[in-house]
Amino acid sequence: MSTQEPETTVPVNPFTRFRDIIPGERLASLSFTIVGAGGLGAPCALALAKMGVKQMDIWDPDVINEENMGPQMYGRRQLGQFKVDALKNFLRGQAEWCKVTVHKDLYTEESSNTSDVVIVALDSLRARKGVWSTIDPDVCQLYIDPRMGAEVLNVISVVPKEDSDWYPETLEGDPVVAKCTEKSTFHCGLIGGAMAAREVKAWLVGERTLVDYSVCLRLLSILGDDQTTRKKRYAAGLAEAAE
């Protein structure tokens, strides 16, 4: 009669599937601030936590209402909760290694920020200016500004010590005011949050190129367009997302 050896449980690293792609130790050593826990900020926080971020501050004074349920990562059971609280609870179940500190306040020029990486996921140029004014290039190593319309994305990646000459120009101009029924979509927010997280990975491994500085997508079918029409669509999308 043969006897079977007892099975041994081998600890599994949750980052095994991408440990040769993302430098986990360096990522874990960085502190992150995400300003905004809505359509872009929440997916970005999830993507970063899944990548292995260990320390994250999230700012947002808003509570969840019904109009957030469609385009954002929140459901009916979370109505009335602060977005930062709901997001923290969600992340706790998805990535227990990530310590999340929430701020139920509006991020202003007086807000203190000592994070290595800052991601500004807000919906106005004025608010972005306020966040940018708090950035110390000697402290903040990477600053990411994802911008979203209903089906337009623009993700701007900035190294404050190197890019402070041109980035402020993207905060000028008169914003295009979209109808309330054409402001945001869940799929666009998911892609934008993932793209912002991808910019962190690109910076960590030295893959940051000119294309990574401003990545713009217009989420419309262009398969039937000729090259000239595609170029026009891209130019229109870039101009719209820049607002």
pTM of the full structure: 0.82
**Taking 70 as the threshold, does the pLDDT of residue 191 lie above it?**
yes
**Taking 50 as the threshold, does the pLDDT of residue 210 lie above it?**
no
What is the pLDDT, as a whole number, of residue 7? Answer: 52
Cβ-proximal residues to 166 (8 Å cutoff; 6+ apart), any chain:
none
- CATH architecture group of domain 22-242: 3-Layer(aba) Sandwich (3.40)
pLDDT tens digits, one per residue of 170-180: 898 755 555 66
Instruction: Give 112's pLDDT tier (boundaries 50, 70, 90).
Output: confident
Task: Parse the chain into domains and list their residue ranges.
Answer: 22-242
pLDDT tens digits, one per residue of 70-102: 999 999 999 999 999 999 999 999 999 999 999
The token pair at 35 is: 């300003």
